[in-house]
Amino acid sequence: MTEAIEHDDLWWRQAVTYQVYIRSFADGDGDGTGDLAGLRSRLGYLRDLGVDALWINPWYESPLNDGGYDVANYRAIDRRYGDLAGAEALISDAHDLGLKVLADLVPNHTSSEHAWFREAISAAPGDASRDRYYFRSGRGPDGTEPPNNWQSVFGGPAWTRIDDGDWYLHLFDVSQPDLNWDHPEVRADFLDIFRFWFDRGIDGFRVDVAHGLSKDPSLPDLAAGVPAFGIEQDGSHPYWDRDEVHEIIREWRSVADSYAGKVMVAEAWVSPERLPMYLKSDQYHQSFDFDFLTAPWTAAARRPLIERAIQLIDSNAAMPTWVLSNHDVIRHATRFALAPENQPTGINASVVDDDLDQHVGLNRARAAAMLMLALPGSVYLYQGEELGLREVTDLPPEVLDDPIWERTGHKIKGRDGCRVPIPWTRSGPAFGFGEAAPWLPQPSDFADFSVEAQTGVAGSTLELYRSALALRRAHLSAGSTFAWIDMGDDVIAFERGGITNVTNFGDEPVELPNGTILLTSGPSDGHTVGTDVTAWIQTPS
Interaction site with ligand GLC (CB under 6 A): 66, 69, 106, 172, 208-209, 267, 327-328
Say if CB 210 and CB 278 are below 8 A apart: yes
Please state the closest distance from residue 153 (CB atom) to ligand GLC, in A.
7
**C-alpha 490 chain-centroid distance:** 28
Classify 162 as helix, strand or coil: coil
In the complex with ligand GLC, the residue whose CB is nearer, 136 or 327, is: 327
In the complex with ligand GLC, the residue whose CB is nearer, 288 or 505, is: 288
Look at residues 344, 271, 99 and name the one whose alpha carbon lies nearest to residue 201.
99
Please state the closest distance from residue 216 (CB atom) to ligand GLC, in A.
20
Within 301-419, strands assigned E span 321-323, 378-382
Look at residues 253, 281, 293 and name the one whose alpha carbon lies nearest to residue 105.
253
* CA dist., res. 367 & res. 533, Å (int): 5
Distances 21 to 41, 68, 484 between C-alpha atoms, Å: 15, 10, 36
Say if CB 113 and CB 64 are below 8 A apart: no
Residue count of the chain: 541
Look at residues 174, 177, 163, 93 and name the one whose alpha carbon lies nearest to residue 125.
163
* CA dist., res. 464 & res. 520, Å (int): 8
Look at residues 389, 395, 388, 424 and name the one whose alpha carbon lies nearest to residue 521.
388
In the complex with ligand GLC, the residue whose CB is nearer, 13 or 327, is: 327
Handedness of CA 270, 481, 49, 517 (dihedral sign): positive
In the complex with ligand GLC, the residue whose CB is nearer, 155 or 522, is: 155
Classify 253 as helix, strand or coil: helix
Please state the closest distance from residue 135 (CB atom) to ligand GLC, in A.
20
In the complex with ligand GLC, the residue whose CB is nearer, 230 or 304, is: 230
In the complex with ligand GLC, the residue whose CB is nearer, 208 or 532, is: 208
Classify 524 as helix, strand or coil: strand
Q: Which residues contact 126 (CB under 8 A, 6 or more apart)?
A: none
Please state the closest distance from residue 25 (CB atom) to ligand GLC, in A.
16
Please state the closest distance from residue 267 (CB atom) to ligand GLC, in A.
6
In the complex with ligand GLC, the residue whose CB is nearer, 179 or 375, is: 179
Please state the closest distance from residue 66 (CB atom) to ligand GLC, in A.
5
User: Sheet holding 167-169: strands in order across?
Assistant: 135-136, 167-169, 159-161
* CA dist., res. 32 & res. 142, Å (int): 47
Please state the closest distance from residue 34 (CB atom) to ligand GLC, in A.
16
Q: Which residues contact 189 (CB under 8 A, 6 or more apart)?
A: none
Looking at beta carbons, which residue is closest to ligand GLC? 69
In the complex with ligand GLC, the residue whose CB is nearer, 172 or 240, is: 172
Question: What is the maximum span of the chain, computed from C-alpha positions, in angstroms?
Answer: 79
Please state the closest distance from residue 423 (CB atom) to ligand GLC, in A.
22
Please state the closest distance from residue 68 (CB atom) to ligand GLC, in A.
9
In the complex with ligand GLC, the residue whose CB is nearer, 104 or 532, is: 104
Which stretch of DSSP H or E encloses residue 167? strand 167-169
Classify 406 as helix, strand or coil: helix
Please state the closest distance from residue 529 (CB atom) to ligand GLC, in A.
35
In the complex with ligand GLC, the residue whose CB is nearer, 329 or 356, is: 329
Classify 15 as helix, strand or coil: coil
Please state the closest distance from residue 109 (CB atom) to ligand GLC, in A.
7
In the complex with ligand GLC, the residue whose CB is nearer, 287 or 503, is: 287
Say if CB 19 and CB 104 are below 8 A apart: no
